[in-house]
A and B are shown apart, each in its own frame.
Chain A
Amino acid sequence: MQTKKRNIALEYCNAYKEKVRPIFRQFEPYRQKLFEEYKKQLRLRYWLPGVIFVISIILFITYINNYDDDYSYIISALTAIASFLYLLYGLCIFPKFKSKYSHKFTNTLKSNALPKLLQVFGDIKWVGHDASQESEISSYQLPENVLEELKKENIDDEIINEILDDSKKSAKYTIKDSELDKSGLFVNYNTRYTDDEFSGTYKDVHFKISETKMYDIHGSGKNRTCICAFEGVILSFHFNKQINARTVVATKGDFTKKNQALCNTLIYGGCFINLFKDGYSHTKLITLCIIFLGIYLVSKFLEKTSSEEALEEVMLEDPRFSNRFNVYSSDQVEARYLVTPAFMKKFYNLKTAFGAKKLKCSFIGNTLMIAITTKKNLFEIGSLNTSLDNQQSIKEFYNELSSVFRIIDYLKLNEKLCISD
């Protein structure tokens, strides 16, 4: 086992030296040129207006005390305002401006060099997302035979259109939206962005990796609210074994039930404060009781009529694990079959190269999905502002990808689903 690990590391080093380094050397002049262009744009867009702004402010302060000159201080004030507004606009679009250069470079570099590095790990494919791929998605269509079959079965056009829409939305992702919905790990999001995605097989375990950001966006213009629901990496592993119930393991405070409880407390608290801010009256108290009762009954009714199976908290015997994680499942026995004392120990100690703080996982059907919350930009092999001779990113990329394989080995996902000692 140890020899095999060493061999992969050695093969990776050789692949880098023999196949990737020559590509990097070819790319280095391109990177330098692009970086120079980026710096030039940076100077023009940010440094120059910044300097003009500072000079205008100094001139304004100087002229405002000089009563002989009527117009100079007005001109300097206008210049300062104009340069400040330009600077402000520039700061607003800075992330877009930066990613325009860095994404262009890293995606070109990855599409040339990554396949050569991934060959070492076996059957793994990389998918990077950029603007050009978005256009492919809009023209995505279901295969003709699938469409014909749907029509043969007398399925309404409306339903076919819905399926088509869902396919268009999901076509760009390695891990489909429907898979995420099924896992039950992510509820409060309506917009999803992915960066690097991988799919492949390791020791007969089919896996998918997706670097994902999820947002819950509502309203438009001034009323637009954007809440980051998840930022990190999602790992999906497929088994041959079928799991009947759904089981979710999540870091405390990182699952919908808890968030829902907090939300309810805020709603009830808000109602209470609003109603009694102008003083107490019996009518207000009765109104409040009716509101609370109404909310309670409606939520109970929705819970009963909801098509989703209800998840019940699973109380486990390991106090260290229970202090850090909550486990919910629709089947208490199957939850304990999956989350064995050995699994609890291993999941608790799961240290990955992702710099993770929060972990959650879900067992459903034949899939184990792990969501790792991290702000780190993962799976990068080079950056615009660092020389391609620097091997740090190459080392980090190896650590990040091999840590996915370590999860498979560590949890023995290739052997059997039930993790035993």
Chain B
Amino acid sequence: MHIDGQIIQIIVGVIVVAWLYQTYVSLIKKKNKVQEAFAAVDVQLKKRYDLLPNILTMAKKFMEHEKSLIEEVTSLRTQYTNLANNFDNIDEKISLSNKIAEKMGSLNVAVENYPQLKSDETMIMAMQSYNDVEEHIAAARRFYNSAVNDLKNAVEIFPSSIFASLCNIKAVDFFKINEAERKPVNASDFLK
């Protein structure tokens, strides 16, 4: 069986070019996936901020002693909505989102002290919708972290790391949960 050397060279050449192109395509896809995942987080966060006014209006009626907390949430929401809708301010968005989640957590605990507000039909509906959106945010955050993990692996592991540095593709940070969520829950705080 005689095989022409030139044909083998051509086949090997085609395979190498196809592999290089595939590696490049895969890197770009991973980079775009991270952006897509962050856009998904953004959509869910937007849903959260659209719901906030309803909850805050309800809370204002009943929670006279929590005015500062409500104002803080309102101010953070305004800051978030003023941010430009692009991928560059990702760290700022994550930080603001975590702060709002922390404040909303405190607000949820505070609601427990207002039985009238807690049993209000509109408030119950609003809180249910809010919890549902929070679950969607958690899901979107997991999608984002999974995409970031894929990109990180591609950017840091040889040989795709060479392409990444050539194309100036950099890994981004994971969407970490805020410090308040990280702290262990002290049950006695809720039983006071």
Q: Is A336 part of the binding interface, using a Cβ–Cβ cutoff of 8 Å?
A: yes
Tell me, in angstroms, the Cα distance from A392 to B143 when the chains sit together. 48
Residue from the list A280, A333, A336, A340 in contact with B1, Cβ < 8 A: A280
Is the beta-carbon distance between B139 and A333 smaller than 8 angstroms? yes
CB neighbours of B150 from chain A (8 A): 315
**Chain B interfacial positions (CB closer than 8 Å to A):** 1, 3-4, 7, 37, 40, 44, 132, 135-136, 138-140, 142-143, 145-146, 150
A418-B135, A420-B135 known; A336-B143 Cβ under 8 A:
yes
CB neighbours of B40 from chain A (8 A): 332-333
Q: Is A156 part of the binding interface, using a Cβ–Cβ cutoff of 8 Å?
A: no
Residue from the list A279, A282, A315, A334 in contact with B7, Cβ < 8 A: A282
Which partner residue on chain A sits nearest B1 by CB separation?
Answer: A280
Is the beta-carbon distance between A336 and B7 smaller than 8 angstroms? no
Return the CB mask of A310-338 against B: 1 if under 8 Å, else 0. 00000111000000000000001111110
Q: Is A58 part of the binding interface, using a Cβ–Cβ cutoff of 8 Å?
A: no
Chain A contact-residue range equals 10 to 19
Is the beta-carbon distance between A279 and B135 smaller than 8 angstroms? no
Tell me, in angstroms, the Cα distance from A153 to B121 when the chains sit together. 43
Return the CB mask of A359-390 against B: 1 if under 8 Å, else 0. 00000000000000000000000000000000
CB neighbours of A285 from chain B (8 A): 7
Is the beta-carbon distance between B142 and A317 smaller than 8 angstroms? yes
Is the beta-carbon distance between A280 and B146 smaller than 8 angstroms? no
Tell me, in angstroms, the Cα distance from A336 to B145 when the chains sit together. 12
User: Shortest distance in angstroms between A125's beta carbon and chain B's nearest beta carbon?
Assistant: 33
Tell me, in angstroms, the Cα distance from A285 to B3 when the chains sit together. 11
**Chain A interfacial positions (CB closer than 8 Å to B):** 279-280, 282, 285, 315-317, 332-337, 340, 418, 420
Tell me, in angstroms, the Cα distance from A336 to B44 when the chains sit together. 13
**Could you list some 13 contacts between A and B, CB below 8 A?**
A280-B1, A282-B4, A285-B7, A316-B146, A317-B142, A317-B146, A332-B40, A333-B140, A336-B139, A336-B140, A340-B135, A340-B138, A418-B132
Tell me, in angstroms, the Cα distance from A315 to B149 when the chains sit together. 11
Tell me, in angstroms, the Cα distance from A347 to B1 when the chains sit together. 55
CB neighbours of A317 from chain B (8 A): 142, 145-146
CB neighbours of A418 from chain B (8 A): 132, 135
CB neighbours of B146 from chain A (8 A): 315-317
Which partner residue on chain A sits nearest B128 by CB separation?
Answer: A416
CB neighbours of B1 from chain A (8 A): 279-280
Is the beta-carbon distance between A333 and B4 smaller than 8 angstroms? no
Tell me, in angstroms, the Cα distance from A279 to B135 when the chains sit together. 61
A280-B3, A315-B146 known; A333-B136 Cβ under 8 A:
yes
CB neighbours of A334 from chain B (8 A): 139
Sample of 8 further A-B pairs with CB below 8 A, known A315-B146, A337-B135? A279-B1, A280-B3, A285-B7, A317-B146, A333-B136, A336-B138, A340-B138, A420-B135
Which partner residue on chain A sits nearest B145 by CB separation?
Answer: A317
